Amino acid sequence: MKRQILQALSLLGRIAKATKRAFAFNYCFWATQEDVAKIREVEEAVWGDNAASIGQIQSRITMHPQGNIILAVNHKQQRKIIGYVSAQRIHDISGERFSWAEITDNGFIKKTHQPNGSFIYGVNLSVLPTDRSAHLGELLISFAFTEAVKRNIKGVFLGARIPAFKRYKKKHPSSTAREYLLLKHRGVAYDPELRFYEKSGFQFLKVLPEYFPDPPSLNYGVLCYLKNPFFNNPIRKIIAWLLKIKILLDIKKALG
Ligand SMILES: CC(C)(COP(=O)(O)OP(=O)(O)OC[C@H]1O[C@@H](n2cnc3c(N)ncnc32)[C@H](O)[C@@H]1OP(=O)(O)O)[C@@H](O)C(=O)NCCC(=O)NCCS
C-alpha cells in the first residue's frame, strides 16, 4: 500500500513537471519598481511628450501593484518590454464627466485609486510601434481582463481617443463627436481606436469633451465599458486561469 502511494506521488510529480515544462513561457508580468526605467522607454517611444513620467509609473505600481502589467520577451538574456497596461480600481463613474487628468489624478492615481472599487478604470495602454498590429494590444487587454474576472470586478471603464475625428470633420464640418462615435464603416466603428476597443468587446457610452490633449481627436475622448460576464460566477477563478492560459498561447503564436 505504502509503495503504491509513493508510486502515485511520483507519477503526480512527473505530471506536474511535464506540465510546467509545456507551459514554460510567460509573457505577461506584474510590473515592479525594477521595470520602471524600461516601461518609461516604451512610454517615450509610444507617447513622446505625453509619455508617463518615471514618477507616475512608480506611483501607479506602488498604489495598485496588480493593476500594472507588462508584456515582455527575453531578448539577449534580458527582459524586453513590448507593452504596458495600467489600471486602477474605481466606483461606477458612468454618470460622471471628467478628463483623463481628473479621473487618474494626473496619472499618479494617488487620490483616485479606490482599493475596494467594484470597477476598473484603464489608465494607460501602450504597445511599441515596432510590434503593432500583431494583436498584442488586444491580448494585453484580455490578459488584464482575466485579473478582473479573478477578482470579481463588475466591469472595466476606459477613455478612448478618436484620432481620425479631426480628418473626418474637415470633410464633414457639421458632424459632431457624438455622431462620429456612432459612425460605422462596413459594420465596424469608423475610428481605428474605437474599432480596436470594439474588437475587445467594449461598448461606447458617451463622448467626453476635453478628455485628453490630442489634436487629431480634437481633445475628445469616448467613455468605453466592458461588462464582466463572469461576475459572481462561482467558478470565476478557474475561468480566469483557463482564459490566461489561452491568452498566453495566443501571445506565443503572435510573437512567432
Ligand atoms: C492602441 C494600441 C495599444 C494597439 O496595439 P496593437 O498591438 O497594434 O493592437 P492590435 O494588433 O490588437 O490591433 C491593431 C489595430 O488597432 C487599431 N488602432 C488602435 N489605435 C489606433 C490608432 N491610434 N491609430 C491607428 N490604428 C489604431 C488599428 O485599427 C489596428 O488595426 P490594423 O492592424 O488592422 O491596422 C497601439 O496602437 C498603441 O500603443 N497606440 C498608441 C497608444 C494608444 O493609443 N493607446 C490607447 C490609448 S486609449
- Domains of the chain, first to last: 26-154+228-254 (3.40.630.30)
Point out the residues of the chain with pLDDT beneath 70: 16-25
Q: Residue 71: name the closest of 109, 39, 104 by CA.
A: 39
Distance (angstroms) between ligand 1 centre and the Cα of 133 equals: 7
Nearest CA to ligand 1 atom 40: 126
The pLDDT, as a whole number, for residue 24 is 55
The pLDDT, as a whole number, for residue 15 is 75
Global pTM value: 0.91
Task: Let me know: does 33 contact 54? Beta carbons within 8 Å.
Answer: no
The pLDDT, as a whole number, for residue 19 is 63
Ligand 1 closest atom vs CA 197: 19
Task: Let me know: does 74 contact 80? Beta carbons within 8 Å.
Answer: yes
The pLDDT, as a whole number, for residue 3 is 83
Ligand 1 closest atom vs CA 161: 48
- Lining ligand 1 with CB less than 6 A are 46, 125-127, 132-138, 160-161, 163, 192-193, 195-196
Beta bridge partners of 68: 86
Distance (angstroms) between ligand 1 centre and the Cα of 128 equals: 10
The pLDDT, as a whole number, for residue 75 is 78
The pLDDT, as a whole number, for residue 195 is 98
Q: Compute the distance between CA of residue 155 and CA of residue 29 in angstroms, rounded to an integer.
A: 22
Nearest CA to ligand 1 atom 12: 135
Ligand 1 closest atom vs CA 132: 8
The pLDDT, as a whole number, for residue 129 is 97
The pLDDT, as a whole number, for residue 69 is 97
Residue 30 phi/psi, 5-degree rounding, is -75, 130
Nearest CA to ligand 1 atom 10: 135
Taking the chain, what is the end-to-end CA distance rounded to the nearest angstrom? 48
Residue 254 phi/psi, 5-degree rounding, is -65, -35
